[in-house]
Amino acid sequence: DLVLQACEALAEAHFHGIVHRDIKPANFFITRGTDGTLLLKVLDFGISKISTTNGQLTATQTVMGTPNYMSPEQMRSSRDVDHRSDIWSLGVVLYELLQGAPPFGGDTFSSMVIKVVTEPLPKLTVRLPGDLADIIYRCLEKDPKDRFQNIADLAYAMDKCVKYIAEC
């Protein structure tokens, strides 16, 4: 449910031409609604990219974000990312949530870049219900064309998975 709430918040941002570029657990705030239900808020749009009619607001070679959660294309240049970079980052969050550690790590930014760009995604070793592993793997496709093409498609896949889990 909380991941679906994150998808809803990102869908709103993406609809308005905003790419967050720093999706990570520290930028999710969980609170409670008046009825006690858990509510997730996406925080810190400080380095977000906003599409403009006459170009982008980010310098060409500037790299911004948290390395563990950055997509391959964001590691190359933060300017050249689109909403699919946020989908990668959300996939890293899901992977870490279920596996206990992000898929790629490194002592330096350059070592992490090499791993993200050249090494295959480490397989999840935990057993997951339904298509959850496939959903995560699709979020973490290195080529943005192979990921979910929008957050709504990801949310739909997650919702089907949640319903499957609830039925079991």
Tell me which residues are annotated as active site.
22
Task: In whole angstroms, give the CA distance from residue 81 to residue 150.
Answer: 13
Contacts of 92 (CB under 8 A, 6+ apart): 23, 24, 68, 69, 102, 103, 139, 140
Nearest of 83, 84, 77 to residue 60 by alpha carbon: 77
Q: What is the DSSP string of 31-48?
A: EE-TTS-EEEEE---TT-
DSSP 159: H
Task: In whole angstroms, give the CA distance from residue 148 to residue 56.
Answer: 23
Task: In whole angstroms, give the CA distance from residue 159 to residue 133.
Answer: 14
Contacts of 72 (CB under 8 A, 6+ apart): 88, 116, 117, 142
